[in-house]
Structures are given as structure tokens and as C-alpha cells.
Structure 1
């Protein structure tokens, strides 16, 4: 069954000061219920963030590249059952 009124949160990192990015991303993830997700938009591959998720939330997240550059990256981050 589709809840078509639900919209996915999109965080466009290109418009957020670098020092505020990770706090916003992890805060957004912490508010997700199991099965929920949000999308990051960036101008480069945020691979270090993937490693940080692996350290902070092992087995509790999914990282899915929707678009892989070269100028625009879109990643869906989902909360999985721990």
C-alpha cells in the first residue's frame, strides 16, 4: 500500500556550511524510524561520511547511490533493523 502523501526529506549539502553538515545528517538519521530514509545531494562523493556511518551505526543503515557524479551525487540513506 502506498502512502502517496509521504515525501522524502532531501538535504542538499551544496547549500549548507561544511561545519554544519555532519551534525545535520546524523540528527536527521537519528529521527528516522526503521524503513524510513532521506536523500543527500552533493557535488562530490561523500565517501568519508559512509565510513562514519559504518562506525557509528554498524548494520543499522543502508547507503544507496541514486546518482554517481561526476558533478552531482545523490545518495539515499535508510534506517534498517539493527
Structure 2
């Protein structure tokens, strides 16, 4: 990905969709997911509930991801997304 919002923090990739510019949160998350190696993960940070991205992953990449909600608003939401297969 070319967006500067993808960073490495404490050994884990962070995708901060709050600073997404012209790229949608979903595009950022799906691009980061597609770039993951098996068993690797990233933390998605958003200013809104990203449950739509969770549903998109389940629909478009069935059985390939795990979702661990880390923070659930009201100002910041965070989820760890892991490639399981």
C-alpha cells in the first residue's frame, strides 16, 4: 500500500483509517489484509464502528480471517485482524 497511514508499531502493523485521505477505510483494510502472510495480523484503527469491514471480510474471504475487537468507541474503534488461512 502506498498510504502513509500504514505503520509498524511494536512489531504489529497499524492501519489508521482516521487519516485515510482519498482511500476508503474498507479499501485500506482489504489491501492490508490481502498483503498479510498466514497467521500475521494488523490493528485497524477507525473513527467509526468498522463492523462493515468485518462483514466484508467474512463474505469476500470466507474462513480466512479472525477479528478481535480491542476498543469499541465512542471516539476510537480498534480491531485486530488476523489472516488465519
* TM-score above 0.5, yes or no: yes
Across the aligned residues of Structure 1 and Structure 2, the Cα RMSD in angstroms comes to 1.6
**Aligned equivalent of 1:71:** 75
Alignment partner of 1:58 is 2:29:
no
**Structure 1 residues not aligned, in runs of 5+:** 1-5
TM-score if structure 2 supplies the norm length?
A: 0.79
Would you say how many aligned residue pairs link Structure 1 and Structure 2? 76
Gaps of 5+ in 2: 1-9
Give the structure, 1 or 2, with the largest relative contact order (CA under 8 Å, sep 6 or more).
Answer: 1
Q: Which of the two has greater helix per residue? A: 1
Using structure 1 for the length normalisation, give the TM-score.
0.82
Q: Could you say which structure has the higher strand fraction? A: 2
